[in-house]
Amino acid sequence: MSEEKLSAEEVAQEEVFSDGKTANIAGGELASDSEQVGDFVREKGIAYGMPYNNTYNMDLYPDQVRWKEGDLTATRTTMWSGPGCHSGCQIIFYTDEDGKLVKTEGDPNSPLSAGRLCMRCLELPQMVNSERRLKWPVKRVGERGEGKWQRISWDEAYDMIIENVRRIQEEYGPECIVSMIGTGRNVSQAIAHNQYANFGGADLTLCFLSGDSCMLPRTALCYVIMGNQWVADFSQFRARRYEDDPEYVLPEVAVIWGTNPVVCNSDAFLGHWIVEAMKRGTKLITIDPQLTWIGARSEMWLRLRPGTDAALALGMMNVIINEDLYDHEFVENWTYGFEALAERVQEYTPERVAEITWVPADQIVAAARLYAQAKPATVQWGLAVDMAKIGVITAHAIACLVGITGNIDIPGGNVLVDQAASLEFGYNSGIWELEGTDMVAKRLGVDRYPLKKYGFTASSQADSILQAIETEEPHPVKMLWIESANPIANMGQDAPRLYRALKTIDFFVVEDLFITPTAVAFADLVIPCAMSNERDCIRVWFDPLRTLTKASDKPFYEAKSDEQIMIELGHRIAPEKWPDFVQTDREYMDWRLMRDGVLDTDGTQMTMDRVEEKYHGMWYHKFRYKKYEIGGLRPDGAPGFMTPTGRYELYCTLFAAFGDDPLPYYQEPPTSPVATPELAEKYPYIITTGKRSFEFFHSEWRQPETISRQLHPDPMFDIHPDTAAKHGIIDGDWVWIENQMGKMKQRARLNPSLDPRVISTEHGWWFPEQEPAEPSLFGVFDSNPNNLIPQCENGTNGYGAPIKCAMGTVYKVTPENDTPEDQPSYQVCTTGYTHGKTHASDKPSFYDGWTPDYEPEGFFDIEEYWKTHERK
């Protein structure tokens, strides 16, 4: 490899605000026309099935954006929020002569989703046409929490926003305005651009998700040690897939780590691709505290204690290194710090790791051998990695495991990816509007956390926002703009604490599909956003670039797309920032394609129309393997990785520079049988949460009219039959789940695959059929596991939180302990805590108290950054 190395300064300059946008030179190269969507998908039958599968009648699914089918108009497009998910499947919307959505079908032309559709997209007409949807802007007329609204016009809504934004900007400064987003929404570009251009502040977060514990810890780690991020390769980045791609190799072994991929389909990765690979012979190792369906079909299932994933990865490396099963060629030529890592893993013998993780030592050894001896092998990791206080460290341990086995950027391994067309459609969208201001430097949490300070993410730290609200330090938060997120139902921990804090916000706007508990409790203004079928938009999350095409020109009452709201507000509040020719969401897309210099193969300007017409709404870019060999990962074109050493850093030089441990390690969760044995006497069970269902996406789909809610009417938690029996609980019983912080209730589902010491709860529950007004708030706190989970207990780098490894106990719900006054929602609305006034303390939901005891080296200069990154 090249001896040329980048200084840490250069790396930081390239990576700052990266959020997926780095110097993946190959990212801008286009796939040739013959590599775009073609007939090979059609020949494959259904979802890359087996020879027994039927084939679609493709005459009925033409390669067009629109066609007529009887009286209905069919529109081929991509589905992506709202309602939300991470998948972006190709869908056909059927609308009647009034423009009403009456039916959906999966698009057989799609190389990604290949005709399939999940239950939520199939029942989408119920959601789109729901009478419960917010039809027009409303402003609060009673007290917060009374749920009394008055319909107002969009003009009045915009005036109200402008008046408050101007007042807060003048009295307190634009840094006192914060915007928040829900997970995986196709609104990153809108909410970011709106925040930067229209409000003038730089603070943007994944709502109140503690430690930003959804993908960002993994992403940040990847950028630090490899200058890019990896994804399990199931041939998804090329239009010809599996055996139709001559370069692709099926993984011999895939490790499914802390995710239930067919149910959650997270991080733009469709879990059913793994099933396609299983049919073709891929073997699996599943790492999960409970047996998932995919776990039951795995060669090995490792049932680990929640929160101990880092120890398991270190233990597996102990075996792989000591048994000399690692990839010498890759380690010697392309990694940095192997000797130090080899020394570190000696502390993690299989026997010690077995004690920590509860996975038997012989299974750790066997899994390590199975993974290391397979080539290629891949790791598909999930949220469990992020949801530990040591989330980044856990990601580091797993990334080292992948690194030493040489499965980096090879077919069927873990491949490095850029965003399609290198289009900046993430949280940096519109960041150029803050040039010349000190807003980015003032982002909350930036001064505490070097990874934030040096730009390894484009968002603020969620817990720091909460602390600023509570303490008004370093400055107060006067306005919250929450777009498609529902923090007291889902996206924020210690829900009662959020309730107490958010009541103090001066001006609170919610943009959403429905009146949510968050809207009732806090909002002064609620504005209706359009659903996916009502939007013209571009989806950029890896490759290909996809278009969302409006199924009809008729909106749902007065709902508008997120972009349309941003543009209309923009022309009123900051007209100098919005060109006259940008008046609609489609014009915004074309403006952004032009602004980012995105060209078609023939050199002409790319437009949304062109992606739809020429590329059938899916525009693939040239995806290359082993980019580190051909200089495809660095702006200087030299081989290697975009890191200070130019290598894949097992020993992380940037962590060393920040004063953190440069090598992965294991640390007990803040509360655990080991860390807090006295607490474990009272709260003996480990509570993991976030168990997904096909019916829901986080707090969505709870409307009782949906098939989802009818099939899954109540919140369920899983408990081992022996543990249940010990507490007199039978299947289906309502049960209180409680710990030192709070309580909530769900219904028991007996699950013998769990360790008897672990229970697994669902999240995101609220009950739209219940009373909106306080002290009910749609029952949002009654079944909420976030009542039991702390906020502000983050890793030293600001990322990660112990969300999936709290502790607690269980007892049956009885008429005596289930009076109206016993309901957590009643208690929180009247006292601020789930237990009532006597529960004065919510410890250990205290601030972690971490302050840097060193001064990070100031190698990053924002002024210098703008000199080289200024957009034309």
Our CA angle for 488, 491, 495, nearest 5°, is: 35
* By CB under 8 A, residue 105 contacts other proteins: yes
Task: Name the minimum Å distance from CB 618 to other proteins.
Answer: 19
Q: How far apart are CA 596 and CA 588, in angstroms?
A: 12
Going across the sheet that includes 177-181, the strands are 149-151, 138-140, 525-528, 507-512, 479-483, 177-181, 203-205
* By CB under 8 A, residue 369 contacts other proteins: no
686, containing H or E segment: strand 685-689
- Using CB under 8 A, pick the residue from 103, 375, 577, 626 that binds other proteins: 103
- Phi-psi sector, 257: left (phi>0), alpha (psi -120 to 50), beta: beta
* By CB under 8 A, residue 862 contacts other proteins: no
The number of residues that bind other proteins (CB under 8 A) is 50
Task: Name the minimum Å distance from CB 756 to other proteins.
Answer: 13
Q: Which residue has the tokens 């003038």?
A: 200
Site for other proteins in 28-67 (CB under 8 A): 45-54, 56-57, 59-60
* By CB under 8 A, residue 717 contacts other proteins: no
Q: How far apart are CA 480 and CA 562, in angstroms?
A: 16
Which stretch in 251-259, 296-304, 545-553, 578-586 sits in contact with other proteins by CB under 8 A?
296-304
Nearest residue (CB) to other proteins, 49 versus 631 = 49
* By CB under 8 A, residue 529 contacts other proteins: no
CA proximity to 803, closest of 212, 397, 141 = 212
Pairing state of beta strands 203-205 and 177-181? parallel
Nearest residue (CB) to other proteins, 272 versus 647 = 272
Task: Name the minimum Å distance from CB 263 to other proteins.
Answer: 8
Nearest residue (CB) to other proteins, 600 versus 705 = 705
CA proximity to 696, closest of 764, 744, 745 = 764
**328 Cβ partners below 8 Å, 6+ apart?**
none
Q: How far apart are CA 706 and CA 695, in angstroms?
A: 9
* By CB under 8 A, residue 711 contacts other proteins: yes
Peptide bond before residue 684 is cis, with ω within 30 degrees of 0: no
Nearest residue (CB) to other proteins, 261 versus 403 = 261
* By CB under 8 A, residue 92 contacts other proteins: no
Task: Name the minimum Å distance from CB 205 to other proteins.
Answer: 32
* By CB under 8 A, residue 605 contacts other proteins: no
Q: Residue 143 has what DSSP assignment?
A: S
Q: Which residue has the tokens 């006292």?
A: 831
Taking residues 226 to 265 in sequence order and writing x for each that binds other proteins by CB under 8 A, - otherwise, the string is ------------------------------------xx--
- Using CB under 8 A, pick the residue from 322, 753, 770, 809 that binds other proteins: 753
Nearest residue (CB) to other proteins, 104 versus 236 = 104
Q: How far apart are CA 574 and CA 169, in angstroms?
A: 13
According to DSSP, the residues that pair with 480 across neighbouring strands are 178, 508
Task: Name the minimum Å distance from CB 378 to other proteins.
Answer: 19
Task: Name the minimum Å distance from CB 59 to other proteins.
Answer: 7
92, containing H or E segment: strand 90-95
Nearest residue (CB) to other proteins, 103 versus 352 = 103
Task: Name the minimum Å distance from CB 38 to other proteins.
Answer: 20
CA proximity to 126, closest of 96, 106, 104, 105 = 104
- Using CB under 8 A, pick the residue from 31, 275, 354, 495 that binds other proteins: 275
Q: How far apart are CA 683 and CA 673, in angstroms?
A: 9
- Using CB under 8 A, pick the residue from 418, 511, 585, 695 that binds other proteins: 695
CA proximity to 198, closest of 148, 246, 158, 229 = 158
Which stretch in 140-148, 230-238, 270-278, 459-467 sits in contact with other proteins by CB under 8 A?
270-278
Task: Name the minimum Å distance from CB 40 to other proteins.
Answer: 16
Task: Name the minimum Å distance from CB 718 to other proteins.
Answer: 10
User: Which residues of the chain form contacts with other proteins (CB under 8 A)?
Assistant: 45-54, 56-57, 59-60, 103-106, 108, 115-119, 122-123, 125, 262-263, 272, 275-276, 278-279, 290-291, 293-297, 301, 694-695, 707, 710-711, 751-753
